Amino acid sequence: MSSFQFLPYQRNILIRNVALSSLNCRITCRFSYVPTRNITTNQKKLNVHVSTKPIEFTSNLIFQKQRLESLAEKATNSLRCTDDITPDESTTTGTPVVNTAAIPFNVKPVDPRTRKLERSISASSTHSIQKRIIDPYLQLTKPRLTILVMLSAICSYALSPYPATITQLTCLTIGTTMCSGAANAINMGREPEYDRQMTRTHNRPVVRGLITPTQAYQFAGVMGFLGTTILYAGVNPLVASLGASNIVLYSWIYTSLKRKHIINTWIGALVGALPPLMGWAAASPLSHPGAWVLATLLYAWQFPHFNALSHNVRNEYKNAGYVMTAWKNPKLNARVALRYTLLMFPLCFGLSYFNITDWYYQFDSAIVNAWLSYWAFKFYWQQRLNYSKEYLKDKTKFNKGISMANVYARKLSMTSVLQLPVVLLLAILHKKGRWDWLFDENKNNNSTGKKLN
């Protein structure tokens, strides 16, 4: 390009094209001369020809194509602690040998074929099978809920006045567990789209895609069939029919009503009342009033437990489309929880009145029921204040009140989880006639001593 002098107000130099070559790292720039419009000067215009030929230049940084290194060489260079780098030697087979003299620890290159073989073996191992197959199907049964259902049936069976057998107890335990697992599996298979929207249920196996709804139904069909068959053959037809009814009641009626009306909570409580009837019917007739007292006890327990649990996730239930009392009518939700908690006192009294337990049971059970009633009352009273005119007008009071209600609901839910097994275990300990053998032995010893005297 010929040399000339550019005046800033006479000429503009525009960069038209910039091309970067990735191979030789060169930049090509095109310059063009555009005369300035409507600018008058006293200086003499220079009639200079501007060359538009591209000017090529090479940058100071020259990037050369690097040689591909093996995985072992890369690891060696990355982990090298000194600048003492010696060239690698090759074996007779042509495989590069890594120089690890400067590395303060042992580096063992792994053959990709060996690693692939190890992974295939790991995929077929027992741990992998458990993770991919056993665990998802186990989660499908809702293990904690199923265990609670099974224990309620066993406790009712233990409290029945008629004698029990090991065979009946074993069949009752297995059959009730399978029926409960089948009902829960159908419930999960029907609600993956809704469970996905809730933090409490978004990790369920059907939601995560570990199990398809069809597989859940198939698993539920097998479990339900085996469970009812075991109950029919090992216990009696009445218990088997109650188990099958519980599957239909939970997986079909209750699950369908959850998105339609708050009455679903009362229907769901019936599901909890059937297992005690199953346990009682395994050895004793349902005409005995003790069976219905136990069933009502389990029915009443559902409300303080579930109403407190649903309170803290009420917004998730609402967003997922579940019609629950917790967000439809918060005051009713707390009031119902307190109402059924107080019902525990006369129900426990009924167990002693109908000769299921001794009268000492009233003292033990009253302490546990009072503990549950305390938190139920705190929850109810706080909700009553929260939705009063005074709190609704003051947002600060309302927000603080809701926070306190959340705490009381959490306490109530945790207390209910402990209260039910304690009440049932105390009933078993105080079962009518359980300690008669001890007192009879003392009487016999006393009478024998008198005769000897």
pTM above 0.75, yes or no: no
For 393-413, give one letter per residue: b (16+ CB within 10 A) or e.
eeeeebeebbebbbebbbbbb
CA distances from 395 to 140, 227, 400 (A): 42, 53, 8
| Amino acid 199: pLDDT | 87
Domains of the chain: 133-285 (1.10.357.140), 288-432 (1.20.120)
According to DSSP, the β-strands at 55-58 and 96-97 are unpaired
Q: Pull the structure tokens for residue 428.
A: 């078993």
Q: To which residue do tokens 């190890």 refer?
A: 118
Cα maximum dimension of the chain? 151
Question: Any idea which residue has 């009713």 for tokens?
Answer: 332
Q: What is d(CA 249, CA 205) in angstroms, rounded to the nearest whole number?
A: 23
Beta-carbon-side half-sphere exposure of residue 422 (alpha carbons within 13 Å): 15
Query: What pLDDT is recorded for position 76?
Result: 61
Taking CA atoms, 448 is separated from 203, 237, 440, 443, in Å, by 67, 49, 12, 8
pLDDT tens for the chain, 453 residues: list them: 444 444 444 444 434 443 444 434 444 444 444 444 444 444 444 454 455 555 554 444 444 444 445 555 666 666 555 444 444 444 444 444 555 555 566 767 777 777 777 766 665 566 666 677 788 999 999 999 999 999 999 999 999 988 888 999 999 999 999 999 999 999 999 999 999 988 888 889 999 999 999 999 999 999 999 999 999 999 999 999 999 999 999 999 999 999 999 999 999 999 999 999 999 999 889 999 999 999 999 999 999 999 999 999 999 999 989 999 999 999 999 999 999 999 999 999 999 999 999 999 999 999 999 999 999 999 999 999 999 999 999 999 999 999 999 999 999 999 999 999 999 999 999 998 888 777 766 566 665 555 555
Give the span between the Cα atoms of 307 and 334, in whole angstroms.
7
pLDDT attached to residue 113: 77
pLDDT value at residue 311: 95
Comparing CA positions, the residue from 52, 45, 109, 47 lying closest to residue 76 is 109
Predicted pLDDT of residue 432? 87
